[in-house]
């Protein structure tokens, strides 16, 4: 009977799916920004007359006022405080990038390389995810295969980086055409075992 009277706005129901990790990240960013703003405000000389920013209220998830306040404080503080604050700002940035899938350097691409079959030192029979996203010396983002003896044909590799095949972001569409979907790889493996 209770379900009969429920609608999509009732407690326990949601008209849209919610990603709890994203909500937690938003809250974490507000907390980190508030802590940073408070700590920097304590370093200011009271003679500057800069008012202290109140902590966020319950349900307030926009961190921009506290980040702007922290930035304004940093302009008035000596360089050693900036060096102290940098790791805290970097923590906010990395947490945001991680939940939004924006981490690039070192990120593993969950694909088995079609040329080395995912052979790695720790997994010599293959099947390992050997592609990693890296930032090249030119600040360009690329995929680099770290597989053992990965040697794609010259027409399939864009360039080489430290002796490893490398595909800059401009060639990813072409590279994607060579990737074998996981279900197809599994079927090929079953067929190979059966024959």
Amino acid 193: pLDDT: 84
Calculate the average pLDDT of the chain. Answer: 83
pLDDT digits (tens, 9 = 90+) for 158-178: 899 989 999 998 888 889 888
Please state, for a pLDDT cut of 90, what percent of the chain lies above it.
18
pLDDT, average across residues 138-154: 90
pLDDT at residue 103 is higher than 70: no
pLDDT tens figures, 2-23:
555 555 555 555 555 666 777 8
Candidates 166, 147, 146; CA nearest to 156 is: 166
Q: How do strand 141-145 and strand 159-161 relate by DSSP bridges?
A: unpaired
Could you tell me if 168 and 136 are in contact, meaning their C-beta atoms sit under 8 angstroms apart? yes
Count of other CB atoms within 10 angstroms of residue 77:
15
């Amino acid at each position: 009977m209770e379900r009969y009277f429920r609608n999509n706005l009732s407690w326990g129901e949601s008209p849209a799916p919610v990603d709890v990790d994203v909500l937690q990240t938003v809250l974490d960013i507000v907390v980190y920004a508030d802590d940073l703003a408070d700590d920097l405000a304590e370093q200011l000389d009271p003679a500057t007359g800069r008012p202290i920013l109140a902590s966020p209220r319950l349900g307030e998830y926009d961190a921009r006022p506290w980040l702007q306040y922290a930035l304004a404080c940093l302009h008035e503080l000596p360089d050693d405080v900036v060096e102290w604050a940098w790791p805290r700002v970097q923590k906010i940035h990395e947490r945001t990038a991680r939940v939004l899938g924006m981490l690039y350097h070192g990120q593993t691409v969950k694909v088995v390389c079609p040329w080395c079959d995912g052979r790695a030192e720790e997994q010599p029979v293959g099947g390992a995810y050997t592609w990693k996203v890296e930032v090249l010396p030119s600040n360009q983002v690329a995929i680099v295969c770290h597989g053992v003896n990965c040697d794609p044909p010259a027409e399939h590799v864009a360039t080489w980086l430290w002796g490893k095949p490398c595909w800059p972001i401009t060639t990813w569409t072409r590279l994607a055409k060579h990737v074998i979907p996981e279900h197809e790889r599994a079927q090929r493996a079953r067929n190979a075992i059966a024959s």
